[in-house]
Amino acid sequence: MTFTLLTLFPELVEAYFATSIAAKAVERGLVGHRVVGIRDFATDRHATCDDAPYGGGAGMVLLPGPLGLALESVGASERRTVYPTPSGRPFTERYARELAKETEIVLICGRYEGIDQRIIDKYVDDEVSIGDYVLSSGELSALTIVDAVFRLIEGVISGESLREESFTDGLLEYPQYTRPEVYEGARVPEVLLSGHHAKIKEWRLRESLKKTRSYRPDLYARIESRYRDFGTD
């Protein structure tokens, strides 16, 4: 799987692929990446990439000219092209799984007030929001999508880790503990030290249900009937 990112700030994106799990996945050939600087496609001597919006209003909009040339240079019309934007459809684990099946995805990192609608109409397959808030840069939202997708690619992390994660089964994950057994007077729940796998599994499911009910009643409503007889208190 190759991630192709178009950005005004290539150094921000390169740093991600040079660090930790992403760097290992790149090194092992499981993930490829292309980082394309939009400014390299600017056509004037000031390398201008943005201008004021037609119709007035605050801020600037990325010019379609340089961005369009950058998209052409990576063959965006033949590839799944994603534009992260607060006005897109919500990004979910399910959608991440869908993207993980592609051989390449192209991500446009927006800035300022965003990008020209004609670029969206011509090249973009999906407009996706990572949450109901506004960031100042598309690099963080594009990398959020990359991060959620690349860990689903076979071999990047263990299958067991993926199976037990939040959202996998419609539930949030149970609380995790590690050494020491007592930290500043707080003990690890006794059941986790028991070595009794069935009891540990039951405790974890109960905690997952409690957490999901409390933090995400919308998710809980979908799975409640499956666990009605289990009880969470």
Q: Least separation, in Å, of the C-beta of 30 and ligand SAM? A: 25
Rounded Cα distance, 50 and 27, in Å: 35
Find out whether 128 and 88 touch, Cβ atoms under 8 Å.
yes
Find out whether 57 and 105 touch, Cβ atoms under 8 Å.
no
- The CA angle 157-154-84, to the nearest 5 degrees, is 85
Find out whether 121 and 81 touch, Cβ atoms under 8 Å.
no
Q: Which is nearer to ligand SAM, 5 or 31 (CB)?
A: 5
Q: Which is nearer to ligand SAM, 75 or 131 (CB)?
A: 131
Q: Which is nearer to ligand SAM, 22 or 82 (CB)?
A: 82
Q: Least separation, in Å, of the C-beta of 141 and ligand SAM? A: 3
Q: Which is nearer to ligand SAM, 4 or 85 (CB)?
A: 85
Q: Least separation, in Å, of the C-beta of 38 and ligand SAM? A: 12
Q: Which is nearer to ligand SAM, 12 or 200 (CB)?
A: 12
Q: Tell how strand 32-37 and strand 2-7 pair up.
A: parallel
Q: Least separation, in Å, of the C-beta of 139 and ligand SAM? A: 8
Q: Least separation, in Å, of the C-beta of 61 and ligand SAM? A: 9
Question: Applying CB under 6 A, which residues contact ligand SAM?
Answer: 84-87, 110-111, 113-114, 129-131, 133-138, 141
- Residue of closest CB approach to ligand SAM: 110
Q: Least separation, in Å, of the C-beta of 89 and ligand SAM? A: 10
Q: Is the dihedral of CA 107, 113, 116, 121 positive or negative?
A: positive
Q: Which is nearer to ligand SAM, 54 or 133 (CB)?
A: 133
Backbone φ/ψ region at 20: left (φ over 0), alpha (ψ -120 to 50), beta: left
Q: Concatenated DSSP letters for 170-190? A: SSPPPP---S-SEETTEEPPG
